[in-house]
Structure 1
């Protein structure tokens, strides 16, 4: 069953006024994972289905590929690189956040690691672009988006036209040539950026999703400190409690809101807004999200049971990964290798639980993932 069919039949409606909050619930339900039940935690403290294995690829403050791995690893993405690949990870710490990259050889061994962004502030999530750059987003008041080079050849560039607000994640929609953006505020908005030229983010128009749903331009995408902030400039704007992860696939942009405890779904072809998870199940602390071409979604928890859960196209929710003894941390940056056989993610604070992220751990899980 295709995801759009499931969404349209059960959770997608067109809204006007306050009616948008009364959407029919998507019938997601707990069920058996397509990979089978989780086993006992392995030597790395990772509980996995049979046939899967984990390894630690980086730890905060320790050398990986000749580079010290950063604190508080957060949003991430993978990029093909010759016969190997690259995993990019943000650092969600104040003033010195930035992002780093690990280059893997074809056999999965680490070639090298390096910084791709430095001197920025609380780089939380972001998103990869179809032209193979990484959008690193600052989760601060009037935060900015930086376009970075995962291959380490070009300097990062600030993209102010994409708005100055408490950025969280970004997802590129090559079909409609827009970039969707989430905002981590209690009354945050859901935005889209329409570049003047697709592939060039230096100029364009920032719009906010409003009642209807319709998209309306944000009058001032880069407000000053004492000016009206982007989420309050358009009176009919829809608000979401704590926007988090964002993923586009098959004509639909999925985004999470931790306060709403929902996985929202905006169907760009039909201009409808619904959700594929309504917060009524075991999935808790909804945060980062990614997906694969089969239609499977993978949602990481901030706290909760410290799991990554799968949401299948037919509405089954089940854990596929659980971290043991890390209840004071959060799972961040889930991203698949280009061939879909390896899933990378981090535990931002690891077993220490320290808010500074000094115990951060970045993992790789290998196995027969559906893709």
Structure 2
């Protein structure tokens, strides 16, 4: 997740390719799904007061409630003394004690400053990481602590069925790489970054990266328990992004952890070298897939400690993907959220679905000229299909994190600079509104925060509560509950 300068301001009803037209406050959907079932009537969203203090922060369907917590507009201290950082991002919910839930939550913080929280960090100058919090089904906090520190730009990740959260660094910074898009120096960093880390639900991470799963701008992961493979998305902002899989040496469903002895591979469309899937696709597009090996997934670049590195950041960002491109791997636009559900890995392409780019980058406003795509990789048949392509900003604008409900509906977080929504998307392509950000700062000036993005959508294991974050320097988390079946989630 990277804030963009390029944002479309297209407004008004838009329709293309048979996609559902559902602009803000458009009322209920009015068409049958692909199987001929009658449409679900969905009333428009409206203002709902926060159970925490009565302030309206979200618009939701009638009858729904929510409570916000860990609002870092004011200082928050966790039980282990951690001063809770902001930029709440990817997250997953697991079963906890006494009917409560355990949330493992990312903090996407860049730069080379002191690590937060107690314990020995992976890199003492890495300011990102994860916190773990126990909450009730109604968003009341029981306890919280630092579960990983010393990392950078922990964007999203994914829940693992053996009881872990895999957190992803969306960067390739390190002492061996030149400054990134922020312009900050990497000299103070002591470790390479750009890896995935395993965080057990029961406690703290061992702070050891899974280097064989690649050093690139990781966004999120999803695990298929049947074939024992981890799927990984890449958000390489200014260049084409790849879709990867990591095949560990041993199936973690048997060992209880992801090993660092596996093989990284990149998706290629059969008989179509370097097919650009970021461009507008035909409705129902479907492709046969193969996988090409990445021989050097975790490079270290030459450098002299204590002096600026000579390897440009863009070179490091594309080092892994260029190995795949040389073998015909496919191009995507900014792959972000991923989720596994019943034999399918769904993933979002944030700026996919527009005209083709004219170069491979670097592109200042992000690779891709569309408003977003949602893809599905079917692991058994090894086929890739397009679930949805946004026809315009008023329908779906820059899809990011994604999860599924117990009934298989996707919940998609928007990341744009206009009004940010949580959208529901059925596998048949029925798109609808779930929530609208109506945050106003409590700090002097009371500035609206409608542009702050949703992130980390995740359902509690019993399906009762949808937890979601606001990803901003002053972050917060919401617990939302209501009759999900009534609105088709």
Determine the structure 2 residue equivalent to 1:286. Answer: 399
Range 230-239 or range 323-332, more displaced: 323-332
Determine the structure 2 residue equivalent to 1:85. Answer: 101
Report how far residue 68 of structure 1 moved.
Answer: 3.2
Report how far residue 176 of structure 1 moved.
Answer: 1.7
The whole-number CA distance in structure 2 between the counterparts of 1:65 and 1:72 is 16
Q: How many residues align?
A: 339
Report how far residue 133 of structure 1 moved.
Answer: 0.7
Q: In the superposition, relative to structure 1, how do residues 243 and 132 fare at CA in structure 2: closer, same or farther (>3 Å)?
A: same
Report how far residue 256 of structure 1 moved.
Answer: 0.8
Contact 1:38 1:48 in 2 (8 A): yes
Determine the structure 2 residue equivalent to 1:218. Answer: 294
Determine the structure 2 residue equivalent to 1:30. Answer: 21
Contact 1:70 1:100 in 2 (8 A): no
| Unmatched tracts of structure 2, length 5 or more | 1-15, 23-27, 30-39, 50-54, 111-125, 173-192, 253-257, 271-288, 302-310, 353-371, 439-447
The whole-number CA distance in structure 2 between the counterparts of 1:254 and 1:27 is 21
Equivalent residues in 2 for 1:65-80 (5 A)?
66=79, 67-80=82-95
SS in 2 for 1:233: helix
TM-score by length of 1: 0.86
Equivalent residues in 2 for 1:53-132 (5 A)?
53-60=65-72, 62-63=75-76, 66=79, 67-82=82-97, 83-94=99-110, 95-105=126-136, 109-132=140-163
What is the aligned counterpart of 2:379 among 268, 276, 289? 268
The whole-number CA distance in structure 1 between the counterparts of 2:242 and 2:205 is 32
The whole-number CA distance in structure 1 between the counterparts of 2:156 and 2:329 is 23
SS in 2 for 1:305: coil
Determine the structure 1 residue equivalent to 2:219. Answer: 168
Q: Deviations over 1:312-333 (max 9, x none)?
A: 2332101100011423321111
| Unmatched tracts of structure 1, length 5 or more | 1-24, 350-356
Q: In the superposition, relative to structure 1, how do residues 125 and 153 fare at CA in structure 2: closer, same or farther (>3 Å)?
A: closer
Q: Deviations over 1:31-66 (max 9, x none)?
A: 536453211353232000011111111112532653
SS in 2 for 1:59: coil
Equivalent residues in 2 for 1:232-243 (5 A)?
232-234=322-324, 235=326, 236-243=328-335
Determine the structure 1 residue equivalent to 2:186. Answer: none
The whole-number CA distance in structure 2 between the counterparts of 1:267 and 1:26 is 23
The whole-number CA distance in structure 2 between the counterparts of 1:107 and 1:71 is 22
The whole-number CA distance in structure 1 between the counterparts of 2:206 and 2:17 is 43
Contact 1:117 1:148 in 2 (8 A): yes
The structure richer in strand per residue is 1
Computed over aligned residues only, the root mean square deviation of the Cα atoms, in angstroms, reads 2.0
Structure 1 or 2, whichever has the larger Rg, is: 2
What is the aligned counterpart of 1:137 among 158, 168, 172? 168
